[in-house]
Every structure is written in C-alpha cells, then in structure tokens.
Amino acid sequence: MRPHGDDGDFLWQRLIAWGVKRVYGSPGDGIGGIIGALARTGGAIEFVQVRHEEMVAFMATAHVKFSGELGVCLATSGPGAIHLLNGLYDAKADHMPVLAIAGQAATSAIGGDYQPR
C-alpha cells in the first residue's frame, strides 16, 4: 500500500505516460492533494485554471476536437463535479475522448452538511 499522498503523484505519472500535456481545472477543497501533486510533476503537465467547472469541461472537449489529444478536466467534489456534465455531454455527443477527474469528500463527512475549511 502506498503512503497517503502518493495517489495524486501516481495519477499524474500515469497521465504523463499517456502523453497528456495539458489539464483544464478549477481548484477546490476536494482536490487539494491532486493539485499539490501536480506541482511536483515539474511542469510536465500544464494546468490551465478556469473560473468555472462548466467551462473546464468544454475547454477539455475543445482541446480534443482541435488537437486530437486526450482532453482532461479536473473539478472538486459535489457541485463542482456536477458542473462538468454539460461539457462532458458535448464530448459524448461528438464521440470525443475526455477524462474527467473529480474530487470526493471523506466518507465520514458525506451527508453531514460538512464544509471543509
């Protein structure tokens, strides 16, 4: 079992191995560890920070359509992840490969009106 915190590093190393060069995302509490691990890639993957998650998914879809490369979008849990759906549906409708990465609140916090600070 890998120590806590290595999962984000593993994720980015896998995406680098797949040839991913750019990720569109909107940081949030549910993906802080993933964002931290991205900084440890040494710039191997460019992070394009976008103001709203809906645009994140549309930009990843446009990336695929114009470059032919896998589009990757990143959003936090809950409403952030839900906002990816319109852009992901656009990708589905045009048969474009987009990978959506979304955070998740701790299991013990689900359903408890928990808001991380």
Is 73 domain-assigned? yes
User: Into how many domains does the chain fold?
Assistant: 1
Give Cα 51 to chain centroid, integer Å. 14
Coil, helix or strand for 49? strand
Is 7 domain-assigned? no
Is 4 domain-assigned? no
Is 95 domain-assigned? yes
Which CATH number fits the domain that encloses residue 38? 3.40.50.970
What pLDDT sits at residue 1? 39
* pTM (predicted TM-score): 0.84
Instruction: Domain of residue 54: give its range.
Output: 20-105
Is 47 domain-assigned? yes
How far is Cα 66 from Cα 54, in angstroms, rounded to an integer? 19
- Structure confidence by residue, pLDDT tens digits, 38-81: 999 999 999 999 988 899 999 999 999 999 999 999 998 888 88
Residue with tokens 């040494």: 42
Is 62 domain-assigned? yes
Burial 62-72 (b: 16+ CB within 10 A, else e): bbbeeeeebbb
Is the per-residue pLDDT at 7 higher than 90?
no
